[in-house]
Chains A and B, each alone.
Chain A
Amino acid sequence: MATKKIYLYPLWLRIWHHVNAVLMLALILTGVSMQYSNPDYPLIRFDIAVSVHNISGILLTLSYFYFFLGILFTSIGRHYVMKQGFFKAFFLQAKYYLFGIFRGDPHPFPVNAERKFNPIQQITYNVIQHAITPVTFITGWALLYPETIILNVFGYSGIMLTSLLHVAAGFLISVFLVIHLYFITVGHSVTSNLKSMITGYHEIHEDEEKDSIENEEKSTSENTGKSN
């Protein structure tokens, strides 16, 4: 089947993505090890887990700002912008993942040079990157310098609330990671998304492109009909 390659993942983004993945894994493993520490069943020795967690957290903060500047000052940023009609598109994509994917329906938002992410990816990545990750590193830095934390918040220990927020955000990231790993396999083939993140090129297959054109035409004709 004929394919077309488009360069969607520049090197700076791939480096960030893979470094981020390693740091997230290190943080989750060491975080779980500390949170569920047990003298009889140590996952990672506590002091080692603390050091690795602290260093990875510092690097994750730097990595976040590298990514933040990247999306601000390169054209990649446009893929994260949620456009008008987002929620309708979101439900269309959710319907596809829940039902259409099993029936072999065409992808409602196939990847092309102007649309790297479908609406679910868009909102997930935005929430993870711009809400949950900042919560983890802001609370993480606060816990690294606990003297900066307010002692008592409405009768509860400020450190306890900060830790709770930190752990909850970390947990959400770990859930995201599992789903994200699974979605690697939801490409044209099981490994095509993985290859794209290594080479930077996304393969557009003829049938996908056909679907894409069909969809675009469909939506164009619908819009024309409405305006008439």
Chain B
Amino acid sequence: MKHWLRKRPAGWVALTTGFIPLLFAIFLSFGSEKPAVTIDGESKQCLVCHGSHRYELTDTLTGETVTMKMHSELQIDPVEYSKATHGAFKCTDCHSIDYHIHPHPVSTKFEVNYTCMDCHGGDETYASFNFETIEEEYLKSIHATELGSEFSCWSCHNPHTYRLSDKEPGQLINRVARNNSACLHCHGDINNYAVLIEKELPDLIISHDWLPNQSLHFRKVRCIDCHAANNDSIMVAHLVLPASESVKNCVECHSTNSILMGSLYKHQAAEKRNKLGFYNGVIMNEAYVIGANRNYYLNIASVVIFIMVLIGIAIHATLRYIHRHGKHGN
């Protein structure tokens, strides 16, 4: 190698001046989760069957026992439930008392599920959530207008696993994944989609093929950041738009007035520029968005340097011209 380089000094110059090592050291931050609550004894009874893939049913007359499969829609993960926002509730807080009877009587099939507004409508405790506005926005959304009563709060927010996580610390990428999984439950699964609407399920990879760095966008931003209209009075946008009205103009995010500051980064302490001069600096805790994270001071420095270079060239060229002109004149 030494001999080879001695024979090729240009290569030596290239190797010694080039290829600067770039990045080092990993410091990952892990966020905390909502602590699990203890499930009450009554609910534990329900979870004996609903917390499993299979359950046993005994005929009280003959004493015969059969093992049956639990429908996936009726299965509840006890661990997820204990961490869920509503995990402290007993099953019968929301469901009919008739569920205490086994096998469950036919009357339970006619049970009408509560919606968010049944508990939270006009509720002063949760006034900051603005449930009324959420409902107004939802009723204007494509989900409500296209699907009507087929769709409800629970279609996206599984009552048994739903967690209020947008304000929780932790990596944004995990919150994005959790949020998007609600959309993908139907939009990424033909079986769940077909239950709601008789339409061909669009292939998300193909319908988003216009999007540069597609997988990065899928991981770093939520579906609703482009597919729902922001409303300043609620924490998370609920006015889901038709595909044709969704954000498709890159610079709506990739600019100093990035709409992401009103959606994905809404809960972070927002300031126009951070101390280091970066616009939308809060985004940079998790990501870097071209155009949105330009730096005020570096912008000024680059313009000043460029102008100085141009002035220097202009002076140099003028002096050369004067010299040349004078020489020819003489």
B92 to chain A, nearest CB (A): 45
Which parts of A123-158 form the interface with B (CB within 8 Å)?
A: 126-127, 129-131, 134-135, 138-139, 142, 144, 146-147, 149-158
A118 to chain B, nearest CB (A): 16
Instruction: Tell me which of A18-26, A175-183, A201-209, A210-218 binds B.
Output: A175-183
- A81 an interface residue at 8 Å Cβ cutoff? yes
Q: A104-B323, A157-B284, A185-B317 are in contact. Are A175 and B291 (CB under 8 A)?
A: no
Task: Return the CB mask of B284-325 against A: 1 if under 8 Å, else 0.
Answer: 111110110111001000100110011001001101101100
A120 to chain B, nearest CB (A): 13
Chain A residues contacting B18 (CB-CB under 8 Å) are 129-131, 134
Contact of A34 among B23, B284, B291, B310 (CB under 8 A): B291
Query: Is B291 touching A51 in the complex (CB atoms < 8 A)?
Result: no
Which parts of B218-261 form the interface with A (CB within 8 Å)?
A: 249-252, 254-257
Q: Determine the interface band of chain B, counting residues with CB < 8 A from chain A.
A: 35 or more
Chain A residues contacting B126 (CB-CB under 8 Å) are none
- A42 an interface residue at 8 Å Cβ cutoff? yes
- B327 an interface residue at 8 Å Cβ cutoff? yes
Closest to A31 in B: B290
A142 to chain B, nearest CB (A): 7
A177 to B22, CA, bound (A): 24
Query: Is A158 touching B23 in the complex (CB atoms < 8 A)?
Result: yes
Query: Is A77 touching B11 in the complex (CB atoms < 8 A)?
Result: yes
Which parts of B1-28 form the interface with A (CB within 8 Å)?
A: 8-11, 13-14, 17-20, 22-28
Query: Is A37 touching B250 in the complex (CB atoms < 8 A)?
Result: yes
Which parts of A80-132 form the interface with B (CB within 8 Å)?
A: 80-82, 97, 101-104, 126-127, 129-131
Query: Is A36 touching B27 in the complex (CB atoms < 8 A)?
Result: no
Chain B residues contacting A129 (CB-CB under 8 Å) are 14, 18
A46 to B211, CA, bound (A): 11
Query: Is B317 touching A81 in the complex (CB atoms < 8 A)?
Result: no
Query: Is A157 touching B310 in the complex (CB atoms < 8 A)?
Result: no
Which parts of B100-156 form the interface with A (CB within 8 Å)?
A: none
Query: Is B316 touching A182 in the complex (CB atoms < 8 A)?
Result: yes
Chain B residues contacting A79 (CB-CB under 8 Å) are 10
Contact of A77 among B8, B23, B212, B298 (CB under 8 A): B8
Task: Return the CB mask of A155-169 against B: 1 if under 8 Å, else 0.
Answer: 111111111110110
- B216 an interface residue at 8 Å Cβ cutoff? yes
Chain A residues contacting B322 (CB-CB under 8 Å) are 102
A126 to chain B, nearest CB (A): 6
Chain A residues contacting B323 (CB-CB under 8 Å) are 101-104
Size of chain A's interface in residues, with CB distance under 8 A? Answer: 68
Chain B residues contacting A42 (CB-CB under 8 Å) are 251
Q: A37-B290, A72-B8, A175-B305 are in contact. Are A160 and B17 (CB under 8 A)?
A: no
Query: Is A149 touching B23 in the complex (CB atoms < 8 A)?
Result: yes
Chain B residues contacting A50 (CB-CB under 8 Å) are 212-213, 250
Chain A residues contacting B293 (CB-CB under 8 Å) are 160, 163
Closest to A73 in B: B8
B120 to chain A, nearest CB (A): 37
Closest to B9 in A: A81
Chain B residues contacting A151 (CB-CB under 8 Å) are 26, 28
Chain B residues contacting A160 (CB-CB under 8 Å) are 284, 287-288, 293
Query: Is A37 touching B10 in the complex (CB atoms < 8 A)?
Result: no
Which parts of A55-85 form the interface with B (CB within 8 Å)?
A: 68, 71-73, 76-82
- A191 an interface residue at 8 Å Cβ cutoff? no
A47 to chain B, nearest CB (A): 6
Q: A39-B257, A163-B290 are in contact. Are A126 and B17 (CB under 8 A)?
A: yes
Query: Is B251 touching A46 in the complex (CB atoms < 8 A)?
Result: yes
Contact of A154 among B27, B316, B327 (CB under 8 A): B27
Query: Is B9 touching A37 in the complex (CB atoms < 8 A)?
Result: no
Query: Is A78 touching B23 in the complex (CB atoms < 8 A)?
Result: no
Chain A residues contacting B25 (CB-CB under 8 Å) are 150, 153-154
Pull 20 A–B residue pairs with CB atoms less than 8 Å apart, ordered by A: A34-B254, A34-B291, A35-B290, A35-B294, A38-B256, A39-B255, A39-B257, A47-B250, A73-B8, A104-B323, A150-B25, A150-B26, A151-B28, A152-B28, A152-B29, A153-B24, A153-B26, A159-B288, A160-B287, A167-B298
Q: Shortest 8 CB-CB distances between A and B: which pairs?
A: A77-B10, A46-B250, A37-B291, A130-B18, A160-B288, A81-B9, A159-B288, A50-B212
Extra A-B contacts (17), CB below 8 Å, given A46-B291, A162-B23: A46-B249, A46-B250, A46-B251, A50-B213, A50-B250, A78-B10, A97-B316, A104-B323, A129-B14, A129-B18, A138-B19, A151-B28, A152-B26, A156-B284, A174-B306, A178-B306, A178-B313
